[in-house]
Amino acid sequence: KQEVTQIPAALSVPEGENLVLNCSFTDSAIYNLQWFRQDPGKGLTSLLLIQSSQREQTSGRLNASLDKSSGRSTLYIAASQPGDSATYLCAVRLGGSQGNLIFGKGTKLSVKP
């Protein structure tokens, strides 16, 4: 059974720091991997999607990488800002599935001014 793990569960950094969030999954037969952001009491906002054949995707200050063979993905946030404070979730879509995602429990990020 696919399991998705995110470490650390919480992270606090000073503004301006570059940081890396980690996501690991147990079954490498994935279709894609998606990173989301969730603000308190809100829904999920899609940040980046990496297809299984890709190694990385970039959007602004965000860069996500995927190493399918080792079951790992990282989300790199450059020059962090207080507005980046949120919970970041990664999710994998299994190959052959109808699109349902398996989620990690998230990393709660706090960026201090």
Contact footprint for another protein (CB under 8 A): 31-32, 34, 36, 41-46, 49, 51-52, 89, 91, 93, 98-101, 103-106
> Min. distance of Cβ 9 from another protein in angstroms?
10
Q: What is the nearest approach in angstroms of another protein to the Cβ of residue 15?
A: 28
- Least gap, CB of 104 to another protein (angstroms): 7
- Of the pair 80, 107, the CB lying nearest another protein is at 107
DSSP the chain: ---EEEE-SEEEEETT--EEEEEEES---EEEEEEEEE-TTS-EEEEEEEETT-SEEEETTEEEEEETTTTEEEEEE-S--GGG-EEEEEEEEETTSSS-EEE---EEEEEE-
Of the two residues 80 and 93, which places its CB atom closer to another protein in the complex? 93
Min separation Cβ 113 and another protein, Å: 27
CB nearer another protein, residue 18 or residue 59: 59
